[in-house]
Amino acid sequence: MKTTRIALLLSLIWASILAWRTLEGQAPPAHRIPDSVVRQGTLSFDAKATAGDFIGTTTRVTGEMKGGDLTDVRGWVEAPVRTLTTGNGRRDRDLNKSMESDEYPVIRFELTGVNADTVLHGRFSIHGVTREVTIPASVTFGTGSLRVRGTTPLNLKDYRIGGLSKALGMLKMHPEIMVHFDLVFGARPSPSATRRASSPASYTELPGLAVDRRHIAP
């Protein structure tokens, strides 16, 4: 009886070793990324200046992604320059003046390739200048969504952005900034959902109360 138990135990151990070796040799399942659009996103930058460090940010981000295997994905993302805010109205106006937002209204990134380590290869187009860039990123798969986050340094002089010095150089913004992006991609909204979102509603919903706007005097 004891010999039988030892033989059974050894058989279980050997079976476990074989199963582990089989699993160890298998590659993890590859995620196939569907065609998608930006459903939610934030573009921001950290800047340093003699008057104090500051952050600029916008959530008005749009974009599309052509899916496939991770290394085959291509796409683009852009944001209007005028939607960047820094928490200071005068500084926001100076920012738009320096970036000449009337002539160059958008910041755009075009994705031209992704390697297996989720390093993004593409082109930044800012202030009428397009440059090749490489950005380390993280990719998180959710239920029906894909989140892409990354950070990259950027020198404003590379994009011919001036006006960084004022008051005879006493007030100065450093040209080196750090750019961050946090994007959530998902399925494109259906045409009916888009129409519902864009059409004026008859009711304004409040907590526990629906107000009929048709009966409110102008």
pLDDT reported for residue 210: 39
Residue 130 resides in a domain:
yes
pLDDT reported for residue 32: 81
Helix boundaries (H) for the chain: 2-24, 89-99, 191-198
Rounded Cα gap, residues 145 and 39, in angstroms: 9
Residue 206 resides in a domain:
no
Residue 215 resides in a domain:
no
Q: What is the CATH number of the domain that holds 83?
A: 2.40.128.110
Contact 179, 116 (CB under 8 A): no
Q: For the chain, what is the domain count? A: 1
Residue 149 resides in a domain:
yes
- Confidence grade of residue 195 (pLDDT, cut at 50, 70, 90): low
The reply to whether the predicted model has a pTM over 0.75 is no
Residue 218 resides in a domain:
no
> Cβ contacts of residue 9 below 8 Å, gap of 6+?
none
pLDDT reported for residue 22: 45
Give yes or no for residue 59 having a pLDDT over 70: yes
- 139: domain range? 32-186
Q: What residue type is assigned to position 131 of the chain?
A: R
CA separation, residue 46 to residues 24, 54, 92, 178, 218 (Å): 43, 6, 14, 5, 44
